Chains A and B, each alone.
Chain A
Amino acid sequence: ALVGVISFPPQNYPLYIRSIPTENELKFHYTVHTSLDVVDEKISAMGKALVDQRELYLGLLYPTEDYKVYGYVTNSKVKFVMVVDSSNTALRDNEIRSMFRKLHNSYTDIMCNPFYNPGDRIHSRAFDTMVNSMMMQVC
């Protein structure tokens, strides 16, 4: 299974990317970048009350043959994208939601870290540990 975690501040460049296994990294990065467009679409759709406006979790963005992509956007416009192998059918919606919550919580902790400059790439070991354990659970 391939799981990745990325967060993009408003300017849409990745603050953090992680994937296992690491062979298909390029294709994986590509999937993530295209999913950003879908995220933006969903957010602007909210303005027209087509989607439940209040939730931060965006749900399944779109399925490809190989992957399922999920999105989540915080109030501070940071986007989290998770790419999961399509073959992984055991993963349930509420599990994905709780993974995004963990990501959001860890990101909030990073923001409060005086050594972190907002907008920089994330180099936090605590964040890495959290992401690693999350990905272990999925694969």
Chain B
Amino acid sequence: AADEALFLLLHNEMVAGLYRAAEQGEGENGRCTTKLESMGFRVGQGLIERFTKDTARFKDELDIMKFICKDFWTTVFKKQIDNLRTNHQGIYVLQDNKFRLLTQMSVGKQYLEHAPKYLAFTCGLIRGGLSNLGIKSIVTAEVSSMPACK
């Protein structure tokens, strides 16, 4: 759909643009991921405010994580998280088998080394959303085979 494509294209340009600017000496390569993550963070804060405006109050942390996996993910990526696992001690693994921002890239191992750049923004998005819901977190992502990621 056109509106999905809009976010996808904008996101990819953002990543590419940041790295291009870095190569031209406006910043080191390593900081690009940080910049992307911070962008995601601020966007996540605003988004979560809007999304939770009309929802009922969350019961607990698990309730919040379920919200992220279902409503939040669906609104942003038009699908739900495929699998949520937790050790009930504060660690959650969200698995998306067809992550929207990676599906156009490859299936399998091609371009695998570039995947982290395209996950940074989304990590920030989650961290920002959780932060405004009162949860301090560290969000990381890993990709072993495109377009699935955890």
Contact = CB atoms under 8 A, between A and B. Distances in A.
Contact of A108 (B49, B58, B133): B49
Interface residues of A, number: 18
A76 B57 contact: no
Interface string A96-109: 00000000110110
Nearest to A119: B45
* B interface: dominant SS: loop
B88 interface: no
Contacts, number: 45
Interface string B33-62: 000000000100110111011011111000
A104 B51 CA distance: 12
B67 to A, nearest CB: 9
A111 B57 CA distance: 19
A108 B54 CA distance: 11
Contacts of B46: 111-112
A118 interface: yes
B132 A54 contact: no
B55 to A, nearest CB: 6
A74 B52 contact: yes
Interface of A: 10, 46, 53-56, 73-77, 104-105, 107-108, 111-112, 118
Given A75-B133, A76-B134, A112-B49, 7 more contacts: A53-B56, A75-B55, A76-B49, A77-B132, A107-B49, A111-B46, A111-B49
22 contacts: A53-B56, A54-B56, A56-B56, A56-B57, A74-B53, A75-B58, A76-B48, A76-B49, A76-B52, A76-B132, A76-B133, A77-B132, A77-B133, A104-B53, A105-B53, A111-B46, A111-B49, A112-B46, A112-B49, A112-B50, A118-B42, A118-B45
